[in-house]
Structure 1
Amino acid sequence: MKTVRTTTAILAVVLITFTAVSCKNNKKEQIKKEENHSKMKHDNSDGHHDGEKKEMTMNGNEKGNSEAILTAYFNLKDALVSDDEAKAKELGASLEKKLENLDISKYTDAQKLELKDIIKDAKEHAEHISKSPIAHQREHFKVLSKDMIDIVAITGTSNKLYEQYCPMYDKGSAWLSMNEEVRNPYYGSKMLKCGKVQREIN
């Protein structure tokens, strides 16, 4: 009971302090705090994720564009996990546009050449996904995933990613995920958990 009272007292002091500080700051500072607070709420891990999100925001277009591509890719992967052909078509078209807009100006000449080739190939597969039935979407997603792994090797990422692998689909197929838990995009509900984590990235 004593512990509960002590914890409540500490929380009350923290709340009063936070309110006092907030009142002194201008609107800009308050917006910043609200953003940081919402990020903390969203992340229930160890706070490291928050730092990564801030870094992602601060690094400008180059990082933002590569992260936008990854987000579109993960959304597409989730649609295939859910066996949602229509959503995968829509997200394939969205990914194609984001690949087109990747700013490669800050990379070395060798990296630019490599990225141009990878992006060209990835765009073709994203386009096919936007126009194909789900079985063909998954075939193209396999090669698209290889392209995404190659892009990440050059651009890096602000978040921890997991390269996962299904030994059964087309003699073995990899994909990227934000979550360690396996959710198979090649089989969806038929074999949702088929696969393993091959390696962690970042």
Structure 2
Amino acid sequence: MSKSLMFSVAYLVFSLPLWANEPSALLKTYVGLHKALAEDKVTEAQTLASKAHTQLVTFLKSTSSPSEALKKMRDGAEQISQSKTDLDTRKAFGLYSEGAVGFVKANEKLKTHWELFYCPMVPKGTFGYWVQPQGESLLNPYYGAKMLTCGVKRPW
């Protein structure tokens, strides 16, 4: 077995149980970005997206079979970090969030620590779902203060 394959297997074996008990670094950055948008701190969200993009690029290079969910998170983070307007930032969050939802959804243990929400007011063509740590008050990242509590909890 090659060293890189052994490293990847060891990383997954030892990391997955940690993800079940607390959010991974990728999801911690997601939460920070989500909260920044809910609080209308777009510049902060763009800075966090740049950090997330770097994390995701590094992680995806280290794995031999990257998931589509993480690729969407990477692409969404890049779009957010390069966005020019508030509207573009929030629209790009849809792609980033689509990846995060897929990432959590693919892991039964993670789902027990995260809740899924949906905003019915997002523009057509924008992914209107997001995840939040279980038990936290609903905060809408797509509209921020304008519609901070607009959203519906959805089952996994």
Q: Which has the higher helix share?
A: 1
TM tier, smaller: 0.7 to 0.9
Q: 1:98-141 CA deviation, whole Å, 9 max, x = no partner?
A: 21233775xxx8xx35x0x3333321210110121221111011
Pick from 101, 116, 120: which aligns with 2:71?
120
TM (norm. structure 1) is 0.58
Runs of 5+ in structure 2 lacking a partner?
1-12
Give how far 1:158 is off: 7.9
Give how far 1:143 is off: 1.7
Higher relative contact order (CA 8 A, sep 6+): 2
Give how far 1:78 is off: 0.4
Q: Runs of 4+ in structure 1 displaced over 4 angstroms? A: 62-66
Task: State the Cα RMSD in Å.
Answer: 2.6
Question: Identity of aligned pairs, percent?
Answer: 27
Structure label with greater radius of gyration? 1
Paired residues, number? 135
Runs of 5+ in structure 1 lacking a partner?
1-58
Per the alignment, residue 135 of structure 1 pairs with 87
Pick from 132, 137, 148: which aligns with 1:177?
132
How many Å separate the matches in 1 of 2:77 and 2:17? 21
Give how far 1:64 is off: 5.4
TM (norm. structure 2) is 0.74
Determine helix, strand or coil for the equivalent of 1:169: coil
